[in-house]
Chains A and B, each alone.
Chain A
Amino acid sequence: MEKRELRLTVNGQEYELYINPKTLLVEVIRDHIGLTGTKRGCETVSCGACTVIIDDIAVKSCSILAVQAEGRQVRTVEGLEANGKLAPLQKSFLDHGSYQCGFCTPGMLMMSEAFLKENPTPTREEIKEGIEGNICRCTGYNSIVRAVEAVAKGDYKGE
């Protein structure tokens, strides 16, 4: 097995890495680049804790080879805020208590972010279907749905 060069952009920052091609995207993000906001909760593409955004679409970074993200724009939870200012979803999650242990929160936020880009005026049911791929064991989801709904309604403006 020979290592491969990998170029990708994470949260606007370009990275040039040298990796074993079997390395998963989540491993590159957490272990190679050191952005530990993105979590892992299973080995079966089930829980969504590792959700990140690649070129505007949400994906589960535990089920993608890092080399498949070659040349792409990756966004993680760390990329939501801009110079210390929280993104609307982050503020809304705070206000609605949309997290408890917080372990699913980064994935939940990234899924919601991508979802709202696709569907800026969703119904409650659409939001629920949107985040169906993310397990939260603490909140029972409704507070997350309320938070996403509030952002869609425009209650939270980005700076």
Chain B
Amino acid sequence: MSEPVKCPVCGKQAKTGSSIDCARHMFGTGDKKHRAWVEAQGLSFIDLLIEQATTPGNKSYVTLAEVIEKVQDKLPK
């Protein structure tokens, strides 16, 4: 299993260490800092939420999870 994924905003390590759980944490927290980070990645936090809410499946979380994975190595170890 690779390095456990850290939250690019608050550094929190997701329970399972998976990026999807980290995405879940970002949505769950949903405070200004986390929202701002998501927006900075060129995504709309709110649109991702609404999509997650109104369409079956887990698309939004997966989308965010991928972005989170991309930035992992850039994070301070």
A and B: direct contact (Cβ < 8 Å)? no
A interface list, Cβ under 8 A from B:
none
